[in-house]
Amino acid sequence: MNNLSFSELCCLFCCPPCPGKIASKLAFLPPDPTYTLMCDESGSRWTLHLSERADWQYSSREKDAIECFMARTSKGNRIACMFVRCSPNAKYTLLFSHGNAVDLGQMSSFYIGLGSRINCNIFSYDYSGYGASSGKPTEKNLYADIDAAWVALRTR
């Protein structure tokens, strides 16, 4: 089997730090980014620019309902966050952690549709290494990402 001994195979799959690295490579599959975030001169307002691969299905009016910003995680990464104001009279905001192999650009149309249907706002974020977020996609960064997203949602 590719000239690996049994003990080398066991070490590869059973001994730290190898299993974590293998799991990260198999579990985290960030796509090529489908959006960019451009910061204004003041550094406080971010503008969302979607690529064609984002498959935006709405008008620019709906896009104006999307507020983007960056949040800092406890691991030092900057994660892209998106607040979608779907309904002016929404009582609730859903914190949405999207699935693997997608980014905020690909999910933005879905968020508009979902929030409109269930009458709530949507807050989402990109994991480290996804979209405009810095860092690498790892399990430890994932935990720091959701914590930073939760803090950003509660404080903004």
CB 126 within 8 A of CB 105: no
The total number of structural domains in the chain stands at 2
Domain that holds residue 19: 1-30
Same domain, 66 and 83: yes
Residue 62 has pLDDT above 80, yes or no: yes
Binned at pLDDT 50, 70 and 90, residue 156 comes out as confident
Identify the bridge partners of residue 124 per DSSP, sorted by sequence position: 82, 96
Q: How many CB atoms lie within 10 A of CB 18?
A: 12
Q: How far apart are CA 84 and CA 65, in angstroms?
A: 6
Asked if residue 44 and residue 25 are part of one domain, the reply reads no
- Verify that 59 and 1 share a domain, yes or no: no
- Return the pLDDT at 14: 59
8 A C-beta contact, residue 56 and residue 63: yes
Question: Are both 65 and 79 inside the same structural domain?
Answer: yes
Binned at pLDDT 50, 70 and 90, residue 16 comes out as: low
pLDDT digits (tens, 9 = 90+) for 113-147: 999 999 999 999 999 999 999 999 999 999 999 99
Helix ranges (DSSP H) in 1-156: 6-14, 18-27, 60-63, 104-118, 139-155
Q: What integer pLDDT is reported at residue 1 of this predicted model? A: 44
Q: For 64-89, write each residue's pLDDT tens digit.
A: 999 999 999 999 999 999 999 998 89
Kindly tell me if the per-residue pLDDT of 17 is higher than 80: no
Q: Are residues 42 and 18 in the same domain?
A: no
In whole angstroms, what is the distance from residue 131 CA to residue 34 CA?
7
Same domain, 111 and 78: yes
